[in-house]
Amino acid sequence: MTSANAAEKRLLKALKRQPVDRVPVWLMRQAGRYLPEYRKVRAEAGGFLDLCYTPDFAEEVTLQPIRRYGFDASILFSDILVVPDALGQPVAFKEGEGPVLEPITHADGIAALKPVAVIREKLQPVYETVRRLRISLPAETTLIGFAGAPWTVATYMVGGRGSPDQAAAKAWAYRAPDEFQKLIDLLVAATIEHLSAQVEAGVEVVQLFDTWAGSLPELSFERFALKPMLEIRVALKARFPDLPVIGFPRGAGPMTAQYFRATKLDALSLDTAMSPGWARDNLQSLGCLQGNLDPLLLVAGGPEMRRQALAILDTLGKGPFIFNLGHGIVPQTPPEHVAELVEIVRGWRV
């Protein structure tokens, strides 16, 4: 991949706020259960983590949506919970339940985790997948790496699974904030190493998913969501000055503006509840925006999907913008609706 090729990539140009011939598009969870070819590979792989940790399988499912739709970006197929798994907190994905971990509920549990230095060794299969993708992806396709933000990963580590209110992690953070901070600090360091290894292997952009950022009140949001993201961004930019970094503080609402200003991220991914007009007026001058069609509109398809997709494009498409969803594709999505959406975005012009 030459630097000249990279300079022409549509998504990279949008992230740098440069003019593009059309709005770039990719979708969160674009590789997944809605695709029959994914389901076939998933059955062959066995467990979900076997899929993530086997480069042959992970490369194939990452490429599948690119072959179908020609998205402007491909996101590495992996999971945010490979980090706690590498740190020695076993992760299991149970059918119908999602991820299950042995909860860490006190300082002794943090102390028992492995040092951050294990990340690069334990997650070598992930980085091998990245190296392969840099060869197998089309020259015009940007490769995105990712990690979970420390707060969101911590909620799974403390709660032992996903929860509607993140009560276990919040209770610890409120009861003993300095103690809980040790877990956040460990995850900041681990995330920096994990993303750095992805960049060294060949990803061109990284996105951090803070799925549960919106569950925190303002002061806790600043400490456990905003500040860790700033630390990660500063560390990554020190190592890789030209690396674009995208943040996704889902559910943060009006706190999103403070987050974007303080972290100085290159781009911000918007959740479904975010008003495109508010985002245009309050966020787009700060950097590139990405989002934010409701994934269930992609399930429904038809005139309403088209109307709302065009409304997002009309509102945000004149500034630095990448079309995406407000969260990931859901399994019941008809693949033909994804193709329809891609055509809508590609056909839109200022």
Helix (H, G, I), strand (E, B) or coil at 328: coil
Catalytic site residue from 29, 132, 233, 250: 29
| 42 labelled catalytic | yes
pLDDT in tens, 127-142: 999 999 999 999 999 9
Q: Does the pLDDT value for residue 77 go beyond 60? A: yes
Q: What is the pTM of this model?
A: 0.96
Give the percent of the chain with pLDDT over 90: 95
Task: Tell me which residue has tokens 């992996």.
Answer: 78
Distance, CA of 148 to CA of 324 (rounded, Å) = 18
The question of whether 33 is a catalytic residue gets the answer yes
Distance CA 196, CA 51 (A): 22
CATH of 3-347, one of 2.60.40.1220, 3.50.50.60, 3.20.20.210, 3.90.550.10: 3.20.20.210
Q: 4: pLDDT confidence band, cut at 50, 70 and 90?
A: very low
Planar angle of CA 194, 272, 303, nearest 5 degrees: 125
Contact between 165 and 93 under an 8 Å Cβ cutoff? The reply is no
Sequence spans of domains, the chain: 3-347
pLDDT digits (tens, 9 = 90+) for 251-297: 999 999 999 999 999 999 999 999 999 999 999 999 999 999 999 99
Is 106 strand, coil or helix? coil
pLDDT in tens, 170-207: 999 999 999 999 999 999 999 999 999 999 999 999 99
The rounded distance, in Å, linking the Cα atoms of 296 and 333 is 8
Tell me the average pLDDT of the chain: 96
- HSE, side-chain direction, 13 A CA sphere, residue 242: 8
**Catalytic-role residue among 10, 42, 132, 250:** 42
What's the pLDDT at 6? Answer: 52
Contacts of 313 (CB under 8 A, 6+ apart): 23, 323, 344, 345, 348
| Beta-ladder partners of 288 | 267
pLDDT in tens, 211-259: 999 999 999 999 999 999 999 999 999 999 999 999 999 999 999 999 9
Residue 76 has pLDDT above 80, yes or no: yes
Catalytic residue among 17, 22, 33, 261: 33
